[in-house]
Structure 1
Amino acid sequence: MKSNPPATNAAPAAEASPLHHRLLFVIAAAALVWLLRETYAVLMPTAAALLLTLGVWPVVAAIRDHVPRALGWLGAVVGMLLVLGFLILFFAGIGYAARRIYGLAQDVGPQFQSRLGSLPFELPDIFSDGPDADTTALATSGDLASSALTVLNMTAGTLGGIILILFLMLLMLTEAGNWNAKIHSISKGHRDARRWLDIGLSVGGKFRAYFTTRLLVGVLSGLLYTGFLLLFGVEYAMLWGVLTILLSFIPTVGSIISGILPTIYVFVTRDIGTALIVGAGLLVIEQVMGNFIDPKLMGRRLAISPLVVLVALVFWSLLWGVAGALLAVPLTVLATVVMAHFDRFKPAALLLTDCDDLEGLEDYRQPD
């Protein structure tokens, strides 16, 4: 007579498996965050160079197709020069804004503290005058001046990173043909190779759409800000307009800062009523640009959830600082497009986008 084998406790093992997988996922996520932070000096320039390469690739490919093969390198050089020209203008604008803000910090710091003390309501202790109002005013001015100097130091410190990004980009553009052949060789088949090509084309198209839209919306907002401030005779109107253009590349937070700074300046140099009117006018401009003009220009080409954009901004800013803030949306788009091309990760990609169903995700992942 056969004896039955002892019963095994299969249910607890089956129940432990999902918990085990969740624990592994948490450990892997923590390890990935640690890796991203610790390898910033390598990954950030590489990611920036890759996005820029995909962005300018149509120009590079068009030049390479219309010149002799021996001059194919001209396309890569032109692509790099386009990026270099934009970076020069961008950092020239930052330098201009930093110098002017530094001067303003010295001029209006004491006035700012004095105006805070004249408000009809009591402020928290962090804003109240200490035993020596002059010392507090100087401290306020010093904090503002320190912030301006930090921007200048940051600009100078990123020069090496910009050079590295440009060289990486040049190498990627010149070796693009070789990498295309390598992908075909190591892929399981033509379908897999085509998938990665589609990913590159889709990310490149969305990056160009994001960049051009941010630039256009920033310029329009800057012009409207400048014109509106000139109507009230606000000084440094051009400074606030330039700052609006520069900060337009930082989603959500950039528009808030570009509206708050001129409002504070008007509050210091004018009266509370004028400051409230100016602040309200700038808010209306920003709402119109952000809720009507921007979506009209962008359409469904990005389709990233606004909540995801804000979370991505916080996440990448904490990891990579200002560079992370500038790359937050492009990196999120890159990750979303890659996941949207693989069945296993499509649910995660759908959660990141503004699409309602998988059919909409299929349209989103297609190259523009």
Structure 2
Amino acid sequence: MAQPQPPHRPYVSPALRTAADWSWRFVVVAVAVVVLAYGLSFVSEIFIPVLVAMLIAALLAPVVNLLDVRLHVPRAVAALVTLLVAAGVVAGLVTIVGSQASSQWSDLASSATQGVGEVERWLSTGPLHLTSTAISDYVAELQQAATDNQDALIAGATGVVSTAGHLVAGFFICLFTSFFFLLEGRRIWSWLVHLLPRPAQDPLDDAARQSWVTLTHYMRATIVVALVDGVGVAIGAAVLRVPLATSLGLLVFLGAFIPIVGALLSGTVAVLVALVAHDFVTALIMLGVVILVQQVESHLLQPFLMGRAVAVHPLAVILAVAGGATVFGIVGALFAVPLVAVLKTGVGALARGGRPTEEVEEITDSDAPLAPEAPPPHDEAEPVDGDEGAARVKR
């Protein structure tokens, strides 16, 4: 009796089968990321302050741990005092900058008026050979465009007022979230890990601990680099007698939190102020100061402070900043590099099964107040003394 023939199946090469497997998985992941980003856009007024609070907690955690562990200050008091001191320092800097700007703004405005006049003379006598009539026509066109778009400008001003209200609300959300992250971040993370399936808890716990150390190192290095950039530009501007030297230094300090491009763009503002307030030679010297500060940052501070644990290739930094700014604007540019650094460490740890490597130092509780406590099985948990109150798995 003849054996039945198996049904004929079309031949698919192993390469095409592998490509198809990767393709549909990639499409599923991409769709999930897009849906997640779209959903978070509706709660950005809450989500973004929480992310900022996480960066603040990573920066202030060593101080809180020092007061709590070494000096035996109650953790709630240590977190509150550290946060208030940090907020006081920021408020003091803003006050200094505001007073300096108000005292020098009139001089800078008059210098800007003279600078506009010099630009008009250069346009008429320079290689463009524009007549004063043509320049006046261009100015009139700009004024007419502003008049025609008056409604849009008013709507934009209304949007600015609304945005200011969101900023105030976001500030208080960020402040309270930072306090609770510093106070009991481990307990919060332990509760989140409990929501995951049991086999995924330990690997994710270890990967998150290593990622938190990477984020902590990144914030420590970034604050030092930003401080050096701001102080360097402020000193250079003060020596050259450029107005608003302290304000320019603070602007460069804030811009340095966006690696590579942030400090360079904010330093360009210092060059423009030097050009308006003085002359072309002073602006060139100011440009040299900005470039010198950037070289010190790139060749000395970044390699030494970031270290191997937070090493991200400069090409990855530039692409991450550009992609984040394109998709999410200034917020994306701010969070792009720390996100890439954390994902680099976390994904690498998950690929190794959660085991640390030589590039990632062993994580201790004093290093990571938000680092996850290992989620305990229901029958093998033992309590942990202290304010963390999280249970640890017996290993």
TM class, shorter-chain normalised?
0.7 to 0.9
1:365 pairs with one of 346, 360, 364: 360
Deviates more, 1:299-308 or 1:162-171: 299-308
1:254 aligned residue: 262
Aligned partners of 2:46 and 2:170 also within 8 Å: no
1:131 pairs with one of 133, 137, 159: 137
Aligned partners of 2:207 and 2:346 also within 8 Å: no
CA pair 365-153 structure 1, distance change in 2 beyond 3 A: farther
Asked if residue 60 in structure 1 is aligned to residue 64 in structure 2, the reply is: yes
1:167 is displaced (CA, Å) by 0.6
Q: Give the Cα–Cα distance (whole angstroms) in 2 for the partners of residues 313 and 56 of structure 1.
A: 24
Aligned partners of 2:207 and 2:349 also within 8 Å: yes
SS at match of 1:342: helix
1:343 aligned residue: 351
Asked if residue 220 in structure 1 is aligned to residue 220 in structure 2, the reply is: no
1:20-78 Cα shifts (integer Å, max 9, x gaps): 33433443343344344333222211222122223322332333336779x44212212
1:71-125 Cα shifts (integer Å, max 9, x gaps): 442122123224423442454466568768975775355444433331423399x
Task: With a CA cutoff of 8 Å and minimum separation of 6, indicate the structure with the bigger relative contact order.
Answer: 2
1:164 aligned residue: 173
1:73 aligned residue: 76
Q: Give the Cα–Cα distance (whole angstroms) in 2 for the partners of residues 154 and 101 of structure 1.
A: 28
1:241-298 Cα shifts (integer Å, max 9, x gaps): 3433333333233322333223323434544455444434543443344333443444
2:385 aligned residue: none
Aligned partners of 1:303 and 1:364 also within 8 Å: no
Asked if residue 121 in structure 1 is aligned to residue 120 in structure 2, the reply is: no
Aligned partners of 2:64 and 2:78 also within 8 Å: yes
Q: Give 1:5's aligned amino acid.
A: P
Mapping of residues 87-102 of structure 1, within 5 Å: 87-89=90-92, 91-92=94-95, 95=98
1:313 aligned residue: 321
Q: Give 1:343's aligned amino acid.
A: A
Q: Give 1:3's aligned amino acid.
A: P
Aligned partners of 1:221 and 1:245 also within 8 Å: no
2:294 aligned residue: 286
1:350 aligned residue: none
SS at match of 1:365: coil
2:386 aligned residue: none
Aligned partners of 1:93 and 1:242 also within 8 Å: no
Deviates more, 1:34-43 or 1:161-170: 34-43
1:164 is displaced (CA, Å) by 0.5
CA pair 320-39 structure 1, distance change in 2 beyond 3 A: farther
Asked if residue 295 in structure 1 is aligned to residue 303 in structure 2, the reply is: yes
Measured on the aligned residues, the alpha-carbon RMSD in Å equals 4.3
Identity over aligned residues, as a percent?
22
1:176 aligned residue: 185
1:315 is displaced (CA, Å) by 3.3
SS at match of 2:135: coil
Q: Which has the larger radius of gyration?
A: 2
CA pair 219-22 structure 1, distance change in 2 beyond 3 A: same
Q: Give the Cα–Cα distance (whole angstroms) in 1 for the partners of residues 143 and 118 of structure 2.
A: 11
Aligned length: 341
Deviates more, 1:92-101 or 1:211-220: 92-101
Structure 1 residues without counterparts, runs of 5 or longer? 141-145, 347-360
1:7 is displaced (CA, Å) by 1.0
Aligned partners of 1:95 and 1:152 also within 8 Å: no
CA pair 28-72 structure 1, distance change in 2 beyond 3 A: closer
Q: Give the Cα–Cα distance (whole angstroms) in 2 for the partners of residues 330 and 108 of structure 1.
A: 40
Q: Give the Cα–Cα distance (whole angstroms) in 1 for the partners of residues 222 and 203 of structure 2.
A: 28
1:17 pairs with one of 17, 21, 27: 21
Q: Give the Cα–Cα distance (whole angstroms) in 1 for the partners of residues 93 and 330 of structure 2.
A: 14
CA pair 138-96 structure 1, distance change in 2 beyond 3 A: farther
Q: Give the Cα–Cα distance (whole angstroms) in 1 for the partners of residues 114 and 260 of structure 2.
A: 29
1:263 aligned residue: 271
Aligned partners of 1:217 and 1:293 also within 8 Å: no
Name the structure with the higher helix share.
Answer: 1
SS at match of 2:12: helix
Mapping of residues 143-222 of structure 1, within 5 Å: 158-179=167-188, 182=191, 188=199, 193-222=205-234
